[in-house]
């Protein structure tokens, strides 16, 4: 844990942004925006997660191995999702007799 | 000579601290794989049954979940400030923030319990009490099964987090003069991770059906 250069004010600002984004995602979900509902909801969630990881978890400007670890985690998660959804989404494409 | 020894000792302590923090991150990656499997199941079944996920989501209490999201965010703020107080060796503030975070964690669990008991009263608990009569009933049951699995595994993690924060607070009380920076940072990393998981659960489970 390297010496944190973040001040109490910084933490309060990040917390305020997280609460504002929560209100925003809750409000945005009330409108029927088609596919954009999911994109906005996941985009805001990703932004909130990034704020927590970068500031609260000190991933920024800390131990150099930590960003690499996070990148590796996201890569494996992407492989898991892409590999599975590759099967799920394309199942109906080939019209296998008997199915 | 003694100067260089002291310097090497300080360097060793810092190296040790960085190693434990890195170890915690590696553990959190394995935790992400656990939740990642659940998110993958969610994505697959939502692709198959989008209408049922919409209908299932409408059975949940989005307002209460939004409140619970805010509770967890403020608890994460408490933990972040606790790590800062531990670094500055401000023991009073550290104790206050730790107890604040644990208290907010417990508040989250109480509100979650209120939700779960409401689901039981509404007969929406697959396998125990399920009497949903609307369209796509079997697929809605699947959605609710995923809902209970995901929020349940998350709640177990939060309970562990509350226990860890309580343990740190107890150690602080028993050995006030000892160094607590590293353990507060480690517990904090776990706590924030559990918060990040909830931040994705909230829109995926509760907000899907709000517009309809």
- pLDDT value at A1 more than 50: no
Instruction: Calculate ∠ Cα B158-B161-B166, nearest 5°.
Output: 130
CA dihedral A50, A56, A58, A60 (to 10 degrees): 40
Nearest to B47 by CA among A97, A86, A75: A86
- pLDDT value at A87 more than 80: yes
> What interhelical angle do B62-87 and B91-121 show, nearest 10?
160
- Here the ipTM equals 0.91
Q: Which residues of A touch B69 (CB under 8 A)?
A: 22
Strand partners, B129: B125
Q: What is the mean pLDDT of residues B34-50?
A: 96
The mean of the pLDDT values for chain B is 93
Mutate to test the interface with B, among A3, A29, A43, A69 (most CBs of B within 10 A): A29
Judged by CB atoms closer than 8 Å, whether chains meet at A52 and B43 is answered as no
Rounded to whole angstroms, the Cα distance separating B119 from B129 reads 9
pLDDT at site A15: 97
The SS3 of residue B89 is coil
* Shortest distance, CA A9 to any CA of chain B (angstroms): 10
Phi, psi torsion values for A20, nearest 5 degrees: -65, -40
- Asked if B44 and A84 touch (Cβ cutoff 8 Å), the reply is yes
- Mind listing the pLDDT tens digit for each residue in B177-193? 888 899 999 999 999 99
Tokens of A7: 């001040």
Judged by CB atoms closer than 8 Å, whether chains meet at B181 and A25 is answered as no
Q: What is the mean pLDDT of residues B60-72?
A: 96
């Amino acid at each position: 844990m390297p010496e944190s250069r973040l001040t109490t004010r910084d933490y309060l600002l990040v917390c305020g942004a997280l609460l504002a984004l929560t209100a925003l995602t809750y409000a945005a979900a009330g409108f029927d925006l088609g596919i954009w509902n999911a994109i906005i909801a996941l985009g805001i969630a990703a932004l909130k997660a990034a704020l927590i990881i970068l500031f609260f978890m000190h991933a920024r400007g800390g131990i150099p191995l930590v960003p690499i670890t996070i990148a590796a985690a996201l890569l494996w998660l992407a492989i898991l999702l892409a590999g599975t959804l590759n099967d799920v989404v394309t199942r109906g494409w080939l019209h296998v007799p008997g199915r | 000579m003694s100067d260089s020894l002291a310097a090497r000792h300080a360097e060793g302590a810092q190296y040790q601290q960085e190693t434990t923090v890195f170890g915690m991150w590696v553990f959190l990656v394995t935790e992400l794989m656990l939740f990642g499997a659940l998110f993958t199941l969610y994505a697959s079944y939502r692709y198959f049954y989008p209408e049922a996920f919409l209908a299932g989501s409408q059975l949940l209490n989005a307002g209460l979940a939004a409140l619970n999201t805010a509770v967890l965010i403020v608890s994460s703020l408490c933990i972040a400030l606790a790590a800062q107080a531990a670094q500055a060796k401000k023991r009073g503030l550290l104790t206050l923030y730790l107890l604040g975070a644990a208290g907010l964690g417990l508040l989250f669990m109480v509100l979650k319990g209120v939700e779960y008991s409401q689901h039981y009263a509404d007969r929406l608990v697959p396998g125990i009490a399920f009497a949903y009569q609307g369209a796509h009933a079997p697929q809605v049951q699947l959605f609710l099964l995923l809902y209970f699995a995901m929020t349940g595994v998350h709640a177990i993690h939060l309970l562990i987090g509350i226990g860890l924060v309580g343990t740190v607070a107890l150690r602080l009380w028993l050995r006030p003069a000892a160094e607590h920076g590293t353990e507060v940072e480690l517990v904090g990393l776990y706590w924030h991770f559990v918060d990040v998981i909830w931040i994705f659960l909230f829109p995926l489970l509760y907000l899907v059906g709000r517009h309809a």
